[in-house]
A and B are shown apart, each in its own frame.
Chain A
Amino acid sequence: MALKMSRSLYDRLRRHGEKTYPHECCGVLLGEFDEAGEKVARNIVQCGSTRTDSPANRYHISPSDLVRIQREALLAGHDIVGFYHSHPDHPARWSATDLAEAHWTGCSYVITSVEEGRAALTNAYLLVGEEDGKHFDDEVYEVSAE
């Protein structure tokens, strides 16, 4: 498994998309990497998007939020392992914009489709490659019972 998370985290990130519907939600996955690059998400941080000009189809996490989140995560012994956002009434698949604006290679990008206000499918993608040749690979994820 490339990404593991608990049921409670999984539910929380999906509910975030329901809460912000019909706008996109966004947030950060915190956890650990192991030597093989597998990730365990231990917590999520719900973020507000700065794209108030186009909230139904754009999200942006403030860099100042990322700085604060990373600092607090390090103090807790965690790291940024990925990000999540929602697609209101749109498939849970990365878009050209998602790829163009993704720069955290090695991290997971989790996308949830929210259809008429209800979370539907959640997919995970791993950003790989250098900036000029980056792409998303489908990423397997496991949701544990606890």
Chain B
Amino acid sequence: MPIKVLIPTPLRPYAGKQSMIEVNAKTVGEVLSNLVAQHPDLRRHLFSEDGKLRSFVNVYLNDEDIRYLTKDATSVKESDTVTIVPSVAGGIELADRASGLFE
């Protein structure tokens, strides 16, 4: 069954510039493996060399983080949407502030 996968901006150059791709799958794991089968350049951006999702890559099934479901084994159905969202974070270096490096 076709599952919608939302592709974030940074990954679109490796996914034919598409923001949404449909893949046939029964589980989240199949969604991701079929996605990279269609777009092989995505593999290195999604997975580390050991085949695991890179730490900053979050995968959601609808509104649920798959880490809190059954990860790759999570079942999907036709009305589902899988969203890939890289993390967004940052902050000041306290050491720089304390040292007065910046004026």
Q: Residues on A close to B: CB < 8 A?
A: 24, 26, 28, 33, 51, 54, 56-61, 63-64, 66-68, 70-71, 74, 79-81, 83, 85, 87-91, 93-98, 101-107, 109, 127, 130-131
Given A90-B102, A130-B45, the answer on whether A97 and B8 have CB atoms closer than 8 Å is no
A-B contact pairs, 30 of them (CB 8 A): A24-B92, A28-B88, A54-B91, A57-B91, A57-B92, A57-B97, A58-B91, A60-B88, A67-B85, A70-B6, A70-B8, A71-B6, A71-B83, A74-B19, A80-B9, A81-B9, A83-B88, A85-B90, A90-B92, A90-B97, A91-B102, A95-B90, A96-B93, A97-B91, A101-B56, A101-B87, A103-B87, A104-B88, A105-B10, A131-B45
CB-CB under 8 A from B93, the residues of chain A are: 57, 95-97
Q: Is the interface of B mostly helix, strand, loop or mixed?
A: mixed
A134 to chain B, nearest CB (A): 10
Q: Is the interface of A mostly helix, strand, loop or mixed?
A: mixed
Contact of A68 among B8, B63, B87 (CB under 8 A): B63
**Identity of the chain A residue whose Cβ is nearest the Cβ of B101 in the assembled complex:** A91
Docked-complex contact B60 and A63, CB < 8 angstroms: yes
- The count of chain B contact residues (Cβ–Cβ below 8 Å) is 28
Q: Is B24 an interface residue (CB 8 A)?
A: no
CB-CB under 8 A from B22, the residues of chain A are: none
Q: Is B27 an interface residue (CB 8 A)?
A: no
List the 5 shortest-distance A-B pairs measured between CB atoms, nearest first: A103-B86, A58-B91, A98-B90, A101-B89, A63-B58
Docked-complex contact A67 and B8, CB < 8 angstroms: no
Contact of B8 among A24, A80, A93 (CB under 8 A): A80
Q: Is B96 an interface residue (CB 8 A)?
A: yes
Docked-complex contact A107 and B97, CB < 8 angstroms: no
Which residues of B (43-94) have their CB < 8 Å from a CB of A?
45, 54, 56, 58, 60, 63, 65, 81, 83, 85-94
CB-CB under 8 A from A104, the residues of chain B are: 8-10, 86, 88
**Identity of the chain B residue whose Cβ is nearest the Cβ of A113 in the assembled complex:** B102
Q: A63-B85, A102-B90, A103-B87 are in contact. List 17 more A-B contacts (CB 8 A).
A: A57-B92, A60-B87, A63-B58, A64-B63, A67-B60, A71-B6, A74-B6, A80-B9, A83-B88, A91-B102, A94-B90, A95-B96, A97-B91, A101-B56, A101-B87, A101-B89, A107-B9
